[in-house]
Amino acid sequence: MTSNLPLSVAIRPSWLKPSYEAIVVAAHSSQFPALDPAQTERLIVFTDWLAWQRWMRLGGHGLHFEAALQEWPDELGDPDTQYLRSCDWAFQKGRDLTLFEGVSLAHQFAWEAGGFSLSHGKLRLALQRLCHDYSPKRLVYLGARLEYGFLKGEHARNLVKGVAGKLGRAFEDISASSLLLKEVHPEVDYDREFAHESAWRVGLRLAAEQVVSAGFDFLNFFLPKRPHVFAVQNLALIKGLLAAAEDSQNVALTMLARHAPKNWKFLVSCWRAGARLVALPRAYLAGPDLSRLEEIRQNVEASWKTAQAANPEQEALRAFIRQMFLRADILADYALHITRLSKLFSWLKPSRLLVGDSENAFNRLALESGEKVGADGDELLNGMFLTRQRFDSRQGSTEERPLVKRLLAWGPQNERWHAVSAEKLDCKSVGYPAIWPLPSLAAKTSENRRVLFLPHTVDRSDVRGLYANIYSMMVEVLRALQAEGHREIRVKVHPGFHDKAYYDEILREFSIEGVELFKDGGLLPHIAWADLVVGPVNSGALVETLAMGRAYYPYMALPNSFDPALLPPMPIATSADEVVAHIRQGQNAELQRRVLSDLTGPTLDDMQVSISARNVWQALEQAIV
């Protein structure tokens, strides 16, 4: 039976019954001891894809909750404006209650607040749909955990209880029967992206930052005085700009030493380009600062008392914010970041900012701190944007104007995206300097068709995307590649939150052997190793791979939020069979040039000088000088 089990949540097991006495919500396969696969009166609804797969192998009656989310829940509103309201909770009569030194604390929590609300709404409505489909008399809570740990524990329990109450079903909590076994989740919790550093490593890193910063302070005395652009960008783009810095005689870059490599090669390239590495100044919160934070907490709570929550998501979000944001220690941590960056900008006085992701918390903090010293912000995107999703940092909200002033577009595709998702910003097409040095990294191809496979991720703009599809698509594609005769396959998991151990478990569970799995380290060596790359259409790896002269075969799982008008002009697979078919057809150089031209515009001139880097320098100069 196991060979015929569905991998995709879009396919429900054939042995499911028309109705069940109860729906049990479960989080993980460690909770199996509390369940009985032979019991056919209960439908187990899992929030973990691998647990659902294992349950079916035991013959149990179960579904993954995303089986009910093939169609977007209209109750959640316009899918393209889900994040415009992420900070609405902090406003009262148009006034941001969380301002600290002129910077919004709420903006630092926008990703978490938006992610929580969306996760909560999708699970709530999925359970309501499943109750409609299977008519249970009871909802039973054993456990639940959604992506990045946004929803778990008490918040998940209250959600299930709320659905039961709304639908007039009995509610039962059996979570106490769940054994405390080791659990491996697809990704770490949203507040644990980076591993805890030991005290000595923290001290060593801070000391290195101070030494580097002091060195550049000294060198700065011997450099011509020029306006500086404070840059928060990916390292590849920074290197591209530094290599072409001779094209800019009037502007230089400033970056945080903590974000920069400390090797001599990079430090010398910064010095030659007139760039500057700085450390955040030390700071502390005094009594009046702490009093202000307590005032912020009280004002938010008071505003909530005068305005009742409009829906279950808003009510749950308030509880989440109380627990994970409005605590004295967390507010103080955010406030200290603001104080240190404000102190830096007060003496550095940047003329402009260049960021790569205005929705990132630190990028937002830099943009707001820059506003206080009169520095506008440019955004040169550090990734692929293929949806019409609107974000307040680029679009503004009901209460605020955009944080970014101008989009520096890679090429035609970015311009199309600007027209539908960020049209309030000025826009200037410059190209993408990060790919300038990449072609020189290409190595000779082998004869045995090495394949690099990149599992896709559901980025926050892809609100229709289903997380379970990440894993089912990976299994299907790897099986298809091996059946096609590919014997050397590497899998490179996206860095950051994603947990390599979960992918290891999937490979073992489905007996996919002979595949090397990587997470840490750079992507470029793997691209150079491969003959071809199979990866998500919304990954920046598409651009890097084509720039290095490798074939890239993109895929996308369905459903998704991608706008067809924003997709690159190339075949895009939606199934494992289509991936194999596209590889068989091959990919010629003309197609690769056409795709690169659409995504990044002109990159090199006849003298192999980066046109895109020169364009960025000129755009910055024109905005400042």
CATH number, domain containing residue 167: 3.40.50
Residue 160 pLDDT exceeds 60: yes
**pLDDT at position 603:** 59
Mean pLDDT of 27-38: 93
Query: Which range marks the domain in which residue 251 is found?
Result: 224-273+349-436+610-624
Clarify whether residues 398 and 507 are in a common domain.
Answer: no
How far, in Å, CA of 375 to CA of 489, rounded?
48
**CA 264 to chain CA centroid, nearest Å:** 31
**pLDDT at position 606:** 42
User: DSSP 3-state assignment of 485?
Assistant: coil
**H/E stretch holding 612:** helix 611-624
**pLDDT at position 609:** 53
**In this structure, is residue 338 part of a structural domain?**
no
Residue 53 pLDDT exceeds 50: yes
Q: Which residue has the higher pLDDT, 434 or 97?
A: 97
Q: How far apart are the first and last CA of the chain?
A: 70
Clarify whether residues 36 and 123 are in a common domain.
Answer: yes
Clarify whether residues 427 and 481 are in a common domain.
Answer: no
- The chain-wide mean pLDDT, for the chain, equals 91
Clarify whether residues 161 and 59 are in a common domain.
Answer: yes
CATH number, domain containing residue 230: 3.40.50.2000
Clarify whether residues 451 and 576 are in a common domain.
Answer: yes
Question: Considering only 325-339, 357-371, 466-480, 600-614, which range has the smallest mean pLDDT?
Answer: 600-614
Domain end (from 122, 147, 177): 177
Mean pLDDT of 506-513: 96
The percent helix, strand, coil of the chain (3-state, each to 5) is: 45, 15, 40
Clarify whether residues 452 and 541 are in a common domain.
Answer: yes
Question: Considering only 92-106, 172-186, 418-432, which range has the smallest mean pLDDT?
Answer: 172-186
How far, in Å, CA of 197 to CA of 193, rounded?
12
Give the whole-number percent of the chain exceeding pLDDT 70. 94
Clarify whether residues 426 and 453 are in a common domain.
Answer: no
C-beta of residue 83 within 8 angstroms of C-beta of residue 117: no
Clarify whether residues 26 and 156 are in a common domain.
Answer: yes
**In this structure, is residue 155 part of a structural domain?**
yes
Query: What tens digit of pLDDT does each residue of 586-599 get?
Result: 998 899 999 999 99
Residue 458 pLDDT exceeds 80: yes
Alpha helices in 185-286 (DSSP H): 199-220, 235-243, 264-272
C-alpha distances out from residue 457 to 56, 78, 272, 539, Å: 25, 22, 38, 9
Task: DSSP for 567-606, please give it.
Answer: S-SS--BSSHHHHHHHHHH---HHHHHHHHHHHH---B-T
Question: Considering only 107-116, 126-135, 396-405, 460-469, which range has the smallest mean pLDDT?
Answer: 396-405
Mean pLDDT of 422-442: 83
Place of tokens 């969380």: 98
Q: Please give the single-letter amino acid code of residue 6.
A: P
Confidence of residue 607 (pLDDT cuts 50, 70, 90): very low
Q: Which residue has the higher pLDDT, 396 or 142?
A: 142
Mean pLDDT of 462-480: 98
**In this structure, is residue 593 part of a structural domain?**
yes
**pLDDT at position 518:** 96
Query: What tens digit of pLDDT does each residue of 186-240 get?
Result: 887 877 655 566 677 777 878 888 888 888 888 888 777 889 999 999 999 999 9
Clarify whether residues 455 and 499 are in a common domain.
Answer: yes
Residue among 18, 130, 2, 17 at smallest CA distance from 56: 2
Mean pLDDT of 338-342: 95
Clarify whether residues 380 and 447 are in a common domain.
Answer: no
Clarify whether residues 21 and 153 are in a common domain.
Answer: yes
- Which tokens in the block code for residue 190? 């949203």
312 prior amide bond cis, ω within 30 = no
**In this structure, is residue 514 part of a structural domain?**
yes
**In this structure, is residue 571 part of a structural domain?**
yes
Confidence of residue 2 (pLDDT cuts 50, 70, 90): low
**pLDDT at position 149:** 87
Confidence of residue 398 (pLDDT cuts 50, 70, 90): low
Clarify whether residues 509 and 388 are in a common domain.
Answer: no
**In this structure, is residue 362 part of a structural domain?**
yes
Residue 139 pLDDT exceeds 70: yes
**pLDDT at position 439:** 62
**In this structure, is residue 518 part of a structural domain?**
yes
* Domain count of the fold of the chain: 3
**pLDDT at position 195:** 58
Mean pLDDT of 562-581: 97
**In this structure, is residue 323 part of a structural domain?**
no
